[in-house]
Structure 1
Amino acid sequence: MKRAEEEIGRGTAVIVEQLTKRFNGGAPVLDGLDLAIAPGEFVALLGHSGSGKSTLLRTLAGLDPVTEGSVKRPRDVSVVFQEHRLLPWKRVWKNVVLGQEDKDIRQRAETVLDEVGLSHRKTAWPLTLSGGEAQRAALARALVREPAFLMLDEPFAALDALTRLKMQQLVADLWEKHRCAVLLVTHDVDEALLLADRAVVLERGRIRVDVSIPLPRPRRHADPPFEALRTLLLDALGVHAS
């Protein structure tokens, strides 16, 4: 654990060392994985289905136990899943502060709902929300906890193309404001390049590519450096760039 302690001393937000995960004695889903995420760093995690992305996220979120290797992470973490997981019998603002208890709870809900552009729907029932609105509420619920580490598990996958673009911009704006460490699990190379400081490609539970994205924001698909990184990541995923 000496290396992990040295990284924590330098302020690393997340440290994964030699993490191995198996299910029912089968082949490892994660195979001796090492990963470090700095405070305030936005990392995109790419890979085909079965590469280990969701298993890594669930482990970092504390939903799956660590049985081989080690994981160090901040105490304050939040997760936004592909499904919004709002409770239909609670109004939006009460969903946002679910599990929170303090005298200013309503004010905190209203503040974060305003941040995500949903203040006008604070008293609505979840079943009346559009897909994009529901994900905004889920994002508000994650941010109200003021996490040091935010995990996003393909949160825009079920949205239409226009709503997805709007949500990507919202996440970019919120990250600029809050500057927590972020791990975004996605299948979308362009999404990774638009949002992240770094892209990591998993293959069979190991990191195949770990590349910095040193592009100024806001980013444009037409810029040659963007296209070069896009080609690199698509090649790592075994996809012919077009």
Structure 2
Amino acid sequence: MEERLPRRVAAVRGLTRRFGDRTVLDELDLDVHAGEFIALLGRSGSGKSTLLRALAGLDRDVEGGLEVTGTVAVAFQEPRLVPWKRVEANVALGLAAPDAAARARRALEEVELTGRAGAWPLTLSGGEAQRASLARALVREPELLLLDEPFSALDALTRITVHRLVLRLWAAHRPAVLLVTHDVDEALVLADRVLVLDGGRIAHEAAISAGRPRHRDHPELVALRARLLTALGVGPEGHPVPDRPLTAEAGR
């Protein structure tokens, strides 16, 4: 019997985006299914963030078919917290529900930021600000969570902590996640499926079956890392891989 995939939360068909004479997305096709975690890799200027903005409804100057069902939430590289509102008010911002404040408090508890609910955004550390941004996205209970390089500005130790937090939140809520990243190792530790965007289209796709927590010397990840680096034009097949553990684990 043919295995049925989970329902689609996003379907992209022939998506094209041009900026003047430059074509950034070129008749791109993509399906995103409920509950899956996708990492999108590509060189700078390959159109990763352009695709994410189109899925978020922030860029409507696109051609082709684009259908997204359910609620969408976005967390950007910069947390984009409103500086004149306290953290709890930022999390509840734009949430039209009678229990908005209670939901914001629950979201802050999930990201371990309850003690900073009354703080001003400018007093937060980088990791705290990014956790507040995640809480603001998750409080809307999205079916599709879009993450645009949200960890790139964090130091290495904070990034490990936030990786673990994101996996725990994803395991608890199970939105579909599309993560834009430049970091191959980040893609390998977080995602179920990795896509490489090149020439405005999905040039390479790989599923990851390794369980979590993941270790870099796992044979599947060693081979996949080499293939992804090759697809990104970084090195040839068989690129040497240092023997060290990956840094995130799934929530339980």
Q: TM-score, normalised by structure 2?
A: 0.90
The amino acid of 2:152's aligned partner reads: A
Paired residue for 2:18? 22
Q: Which has the higher helix share?
A: 1
The amino acid of 1:179's aligned partner reads: R
Please say if residues 54 and 62 of structure 2, whose CA atoms lie closer than 8 Å, have aligned partners that are also in contact. no
Within a 5 Å distance, the mapping from 1:180-219 to structure 2 comes to 180-219=175-214
Q: Secondary structure at the match of 1:145?
A: coil
Within a 5 Å distance, the mapping from 1:169-188 to structure 2 comes to 169-188=164-183
Say which of 9, 12, 16 aligns to 1:13: 9
What is the CA–CA distance in structure 2 between the aligned matches of 1:193 and 1:14, rounded to whole Å?
22
Please say if residues 15 and 25 of structure 2, whose CA atoms lie closer than 8 Å, have aligned partners that are also in contact. yes
What is the CA–CA distance in structure 2 between the aligned matches of 1:149 and 1:197, rounded to whole Å?
15
Question: How much has 1:222 moved relative to structure 2?
Answer: 1.9
RMSD, aligned CA? 1.2
The amino acid of 1:22's aligned partner reads: R
What is the CA–CA distance in structure 1 between the aligned matches of 2:95 and 2:16, rounded to whole Å?
33
Alignment pair present for 1:34 and 2:29: yes
10 and 158 in structure 1: CA distance in 2 versus 1, 3 angstrom threshold: closer
Unmatched tracts of structure 1, length 5 or more:
1-8
What is the CA–CA distance in structure 2 between the aligned matches of 1:206 and 1:135, rounded to whole Å?
30
Paired residue for 1:6? none
What is the CA–CA distance in structure 1 between the aligned matches of 2:162 and 2:6, rounded to whole Å?
32
Paired residue for 2:248? none
Question: How much has 1:107 moved relative to structure 2?
Answer: 1.1
Question: How much has 1:28 moved relative to structure 2?
Answer: 1.1
Paired residue for 1:150? 145
Please say if residues 188 and 221 of structure 2, whose CA atoms lie closer than 8 Å, have aligned partners that are also in contact. yes
Alignment deviations for residues 91-116 of structure 1 (CA, whole Å, 9 cap, x no partner): 00000010113332221111010101
Paired residue for 2:93? 98
The percentage of counterpart residues that share the same residue type is 59
The amino acid of 1:194's aligned partner reads: V
155 and 220 in structure 1: CA distance in 2 versus 1, 3 angstrom threshold: same
Question: How much has 1:27 moved relative to structure 2?
Answer: 2.6
Q: Which consecutive aligned stretches of 4+ in structure 1 deviate over 3 angstroms post-superposition?
A: none
Alignment deviations for residues 133-190 of structure 1 (CA, whole Å, 9 cap, x no partner): 0000000000000000000000000000100111111111110110010000000001
Unmatched tracts of structure 2, length 5 or more:
241-252
Alignment pair present for 1:112 and 2:104: no
Q: TM-score, normalised by structure 1?
A: 0.94
Alignment deviations for residues 189-236 of structure 1 (CA, whole Å, 9 cap, x no partner): 011010101000001211110111111111111212111111111110
Alignment pair present for 1:140 and 2:138: no
What is the CA–CA distance in structure 1 between the aligned matches of 2:99 and 2:22, rounded to whole Å?
49
What is the CA–CA distance in structure 1 between the aligned matches of 2:97 and 2:202, rounded to whole Å?
42
Alignment pair present for 1:166 and 2:161: yes
Please say if residues 50 and 204 of structure 1, whose CA atoms lie closer than 8 Å, have aligned partners that are also in contact. no
Alignment pair present for 1:83 and 2:110: no
Please say if residues 20 and 32 of structure 1, whose CA atoms lie closer than 8 Å, have aligned partners that are also in contact. yes
Q: Secondary structure at the match of 2:189?
A: helix
Question: How much has 1:66 moved relative to structure 2?
Answer: 4.8
Please say if residues 79 and 151 of structure 1, whose CA atoms lie closer than 8 Å, have aligned partners that are also in contact. yes
Paired residue for 1:3? none
Say which of 51, 68, 72 aligns to 2:67: 72
What is the CA–CA distance in structure 2 between the aligned matches of 1:68 and 1:152, rounded to whole Å?
23
Say which of 28, 44, 54 aligns to 1:59: 54
The amino acid of 2:27's aligned partner reads: G
Q: Secondary structure at the match of 1:28?
A: strand
55 and 20 in structure 1: CA distance in 2 versus 1, 3 angstrom threshold: same
The amino acid of 1:201's aligned partner reads: V
